[in-house]
Amino acid sequence: MDTPSATPASRTFNVPATATSAEGAQTLIEIDNFDFYYGAKQALFDINIRIADKRVTAFIGPSGCGKSTLLRCLNRMNDLIDGTSVKRGSVKIRSIDINGRDVDSIELRKRVGMVFQKSNPFPKSIYENIIYGLRIQGVKSKSRLDEVVEKSLRGAALWDEVKDRLHESGLGLSGGQQQRLCIARTIAVEPEVILMDEPCSALDPIATAKVEELIHELKKQYTIIIVTHSMQQAARCSDQTAFFYMGKLIEFGETRDIFMNPKNPQTEAYVSGRFG
Amino acid sequence: MTTVSTNTFASRPSTGRSLEKSTFWIFRIATYVILLAGFAVFGDIVFKGSATVFGAFKTTSSFPYFTNTFLTEAPESLYVFEHKGEKREMGDTEYRAFREKETAAALAAGKPAPVFEAASYVYSAGGIWPCIVGTVLLVVGSMTIALLLGVSSAIFLSEYARDGTFVRFVRLAILNLAGVPSIVFGLFGFGMFVIYFDWNVSLLAGWFTLAFMVLPVVITASEEALKAVPKGFREGSLALGATKWQTIQSNVLPYALPGILTSSILGIARVAGETAPIMFTAAYVVRDKMPWDVEKISDFFFQGVMALPYHIYVVSSKIPQNEYTSRVQYGTAFVFLGIVALIAASSIILRNKLRGRYKW
Ligand SMILES: Nc1ncnc2c1ncn2[C@@H]1O[C@H](COP(=O)(O)OP(=O)(O)O)[C@@H](O)[C@H]1O
Ligand SMILES: [Mg+2]
């Protein structure tokens, strides 16, 4: 935990006005009995989660508990690491097993975008950053690209700040702007799901607030899964929360329930800042 | 009131202190000696060589009204002789024309033909134009091959291959290759390309021999440059649905290129300067035709060329040293340095341009 709060989070927690009940939402991602290994080392143990469509799901837990690992399993980024393997169970998106033989990880990643902990704008212009995904897909039409750039930047609440310098390097932006540029780049390829791995951990409070605001906007169109170290952030942004500890899913439910009346004593201890 | 105390910080002479001082001087002197040696080498070449090069400017009757015979002519034998009590130095063509003219003049005047007793010095007249052309061709061709092969294999090793026994073995092999003396590459090139592939002594054989010689440098440098590209660029690209090759092509290689070029500059100097790898594979002692005087395009690749380092070697080894040959030696060395500097400078400019475009 970054900042253990003096007051237990569970008592100061207010249900944000923006929270949407996960009830009534359709399930988009089903993770069943999922075991994941780095070589011989097991990182995830028997994970079972149902992630709701067009909602924000937060993954919380102490460092090294496997949040990033699970997140990266959802767009198969772990394929890039030597020796990783899914030993048991499945991850299904719209009932399709994404680790199945007939699933192409390239196609999967077009549908499941990712925003990284360390913002990673490419050393190209803002414009080129946004259209990167489309260029790869072979889109050439200038008018279409222009349109996507504006739409994505507006979608990431960045348009007004950068519209006059689209052809300057994306690296000239501030940290918060860079992270929103990465979000804009992700939504430019119109994914269904956006995975965010501690997107605000390197940002100041104001930039963090902007990204959080953006998340509320984005969930109208996208299913968002966010890994966070900050319990306050999970409480503010998410509809559902999953608490992990040592590679196991300890508790999963409505964010309100996880923070206000957790069933598991470990969850209670973590969200109230007693360990982490 | 302050009391005056004895200075507890006063320096105390000790063996430790004098050791300190002498080590400092040893390091300092070592550096100065190196600097001096460097200056001596460069100074010697520049001083003696520039006299040859700058002394060869001549005026002409057509545009641009001057020429430099040392840079634009082929090597010739120098004839030194005495004529009508005057000491003359002439290149081969000029000497023959002069002799004919004088003989004809004497005959016309009814006098006996004059006797010419000339001392000849091989390659000491004319210039080194074919050597310049040959060296540039060798450098461009072999660096192209080395970069294509080297960058490809670096991409394979650092982006595709899984770290394992095989990759470690390949790296070890590359490392060993870097330590092989250049004459061994020359022999390999001779056996492989000249004899076995039957390419004869040719540009192609020289290109491949030189390319193999610099490959270790290029591969190692390319790998380092690829490794220096942050992982985030690769992940970011892949997360947007790019394939591995798309990622490498548009989001890794462009950023690695400046680094690859930087170390390839070292390779350029090596390729341009080595004599041993080309003496059996590509270099001719002397060649009348220029490389572009070919009947078929394919002949271009299968012809030998003259080259600067080999010319220096030939001039220095074949004949006893005298003022005329040392003139050519130093002139050639000077031009050689100039060409390497020129090629290196242009790659540095290219690199800086690329570097300015991609910064992170
Ligand atoms: N590339 C990797 N190779 C081997 N083990 C890894 C790798 N990445 C993460 N791990 C291990 O997997 C566990 C979970 O890590 P991670 O998912 O990064 O945790 P979190 O994001 O919750 O901090 C940790 O014990 C970590 O050491
Ligand atoms: Mg993590």
Question: B64: cis peptide before it, omega within 30°?
Answer: yes
**Alpha carbon distance A234, A267 (integer Å):** 14
- B356–A contact, CB cutoff 8 A: no
Which residues 66-105 on chain A approach chain B with CB closer than 8 angstroms? 75, 77, 80, 82
> A118 lies in which domain range?
25-269
In a domain, A210, yes or no: yes
Enter the tokens of residue A25: 């939402």
Per-residue model confidence as pLDDT tens digits over A198-216: 999 989 999 999 999 999 9
Place of tokens 């951990």: A201
Task: Give the H or E element holding residue B30.
Answer: helix B15-54
Output the residue whose Cα is nearest ligand 1's atom 2.
A38
In a domain, A13, yes or no: no
Task: Give the H or E element holding residue B79.
Answer: strand B75-83
Look at residue B245 in the predicted model and tell me its pLDDT: 95
**Alpha carbon distance B48, B53 (integer Å):** 9
Which one has a higher pLDDT value, A224 or B114? A224
Looking at beta carbons, which residues of chain B come within 8 Å of A123?
233, 255, 358-360
Q: List Cα–Cα distances, B126 to A43, B62, B75, B82, in angstroms.
A: 76, 20, 5, 20
* Residue A64 near ligand 1, beta carbon < 6 Å: yes
Closest CA to A184 of A123, A117, A128: A128
* Residue A63 near ligand 1, beta carbon < 6 Å: yes
Looking at beta carbons, which residues of chain A come within 8 Å of B233?
120, 122-123
Look at residue A10 in the predicted model and tell me its pLDDT: 42
Mean pLDDT value across chain A: 90
Contact: A132, B240; criterion CB under 8 Å: yes
Decide: helix, strand or coil at residue A5: coil
- A159–B contact, CB cutoff 8 A: no
Q: List Cα–Cα distances, A234 to A255, B17, B209, in angstroms.
A: 8, 63, 63
In a domain, A17, yes or no: no
- B296–A contact, CB cutoff 8 A: no
Phi, psi for B115 (deg, rounded to 5): -100, 125
| Radius of gyration in angstroms for the set of CA atoms belonging to chain B, rounded to a whole number | 29
Q: List Cα–Cα distances, A158 to A149, A162, A168, in angstroms.
A: 11, 6, 14
CB B310 within 8 A of CB B283: yes
Q: Which of A68, A114, A227, A250 gets mutated to test ligand 1 (max ligand atoms within 8 A of its CB)? A: A68
Look at residue B10 in the predicted model and tell me its pLDDT: 83
Nearest chain B residue (CA) to A189: B240
Kindly give the parts of chain B with pLDDT less than 50: none
- A171–B contact, CB cutoff 8 A: yes
Q: Across the beta sheet with B75-83, what order do the strands follow?
A: B86-91, B75-83, B119-126
Look at residue A31 in the predicted model and tell me its pLDDT: 96
- B354–A contact, CB cutoff 8 A: no
The predicted complex's ipTM stands at 0.89
At residue A1 the predicted structure's pLDDT band, cuts being 50, 70 and 90, is very low
Look at residue B120 in the predicted model and tell me its pLDDT: 85
- A132–B contact, CB cutoff 8 A: yes
In a domain, A130, yes or no: yes
Is pLDDT of A19 > 90? no
CA-CA-CA-CA dihedral for A200, A202, A204, A209, to nearest 10? -10
In a domain, A237, yes or no: yes
Look at residue B132 in the predicted model and tell me its pLDDT: 93
| Radius of gyration in angstroms for the set of CA atoms belonging to chain A, rounded to a whole number | 19
**Alpha carbon distance B45, B327 (integer Å):** 11
pTM of the model: 0.83
- A109–B contact, CB cutoff 8 A: yes
At residue A12 the predicted structure's pLDDT band, cuts being 50, 70 and 90, is low
Look at residue A4 in the predicted model and tell me its pLDDT: 42
Contact: B238, A77; criterion CB under 8 Å: yes
Ligand 2 center from residue A85 Cα (angstroms): 18
In a domain, A154, yes or no: yes
Contacts of B54 (CB under 8 A, 6+ apart): none
**Alpha carbon distance B281, A2 (integer Å):** 67
Is pLDDT of A267 > 70? yes
Q: What percentage of residues in chain A have a pLDDT greater than 70? A: 91
Looking at beta carbons, which residues of chain A come within 8 Å of B257?
none
At residue A3 the predicted structure's pLDDT band, cuts being 50, 70 and 90, is very low
Look at residue B268 in the predicted model and tell me its pLDDT: 87
By Cβ distance, the residue of B163, B230, B232 closest to A82 is B163
In a domain, A129, yes or no: yes
Closest CA to A214 of A196, A241, A228: A196
**Alpha carbon distance B152, B249 (integer Å):** 12
Contacts of B346 (CB under 8 A, 6+ apart): none
Burial class (CB in 10 A: 0-12, 13-18, 19+), A233: buried
Looking at beta carbons, which residues of chain B come within 8 Å of A128?
none
Looking at beta carbons, which residues of chain A come within 8 Å of B167?
none
Quickly count helices (H) and strands (E) in chain B.
14, 5
Instruction: Locate the DSSP E strands across chain A.
Output: 27-38, 41-52, 56-60, 84-93, 96-97, 112-115, 193-197, 223-227, 240-245, 248-254
Q: Which atom of ligand 1 is nearest to the CA of A66?
A: 17
Contacts of B137 (CB under 8 A, 6+ apart): B203, B291, B305
Nearest chain B residue (CA) to A181: B236
At residue A2 the predicted structure's pLDDT band, cuts being 50, 70 and 90, is very low
In a domain, A4, yes or no: no
- The domain spanning residue A86 has which CATH number? 3.40.50.300
Phi, psi for B126 (deg, rounded to 5): 70, -150
Contacts of B220 (CB under 8 A, 6+ apart): B174, B175, B178, B263
By 3-state DSSP, what share of chain B in percent is helix, strand and coil, each rounded to 5? 65, 10, 25
Report the number of distinct structural domains present in chain A. Answer: 1
Is pLDDT of A226 > 70? yes
**Alpha carbon distance A157, A176 (integer Å):** 11
Which one has a higher pLDDT value, A24 or B312? B312
Is pLDDT of A54 > 90? yes
Ligand 2 center from residue A217 Cα (angstroms): 24
Q: Which ligand is nearest to the CA of A66?
A: 1
Place of tokens 């925003």: A115
Look at residue A13 in the predicted model and tell me its pLDDT: 56
By Cβ distance, the residue of B162, B163, B242 closest to A136 is B242
Closest CA to B338 of B41, B39, B50, B35: B50
Output the residue whose Cα is nearest ligand 1's atom 14.
A66
Ligand 1 center from residue B232 Cα (angstroms): 17
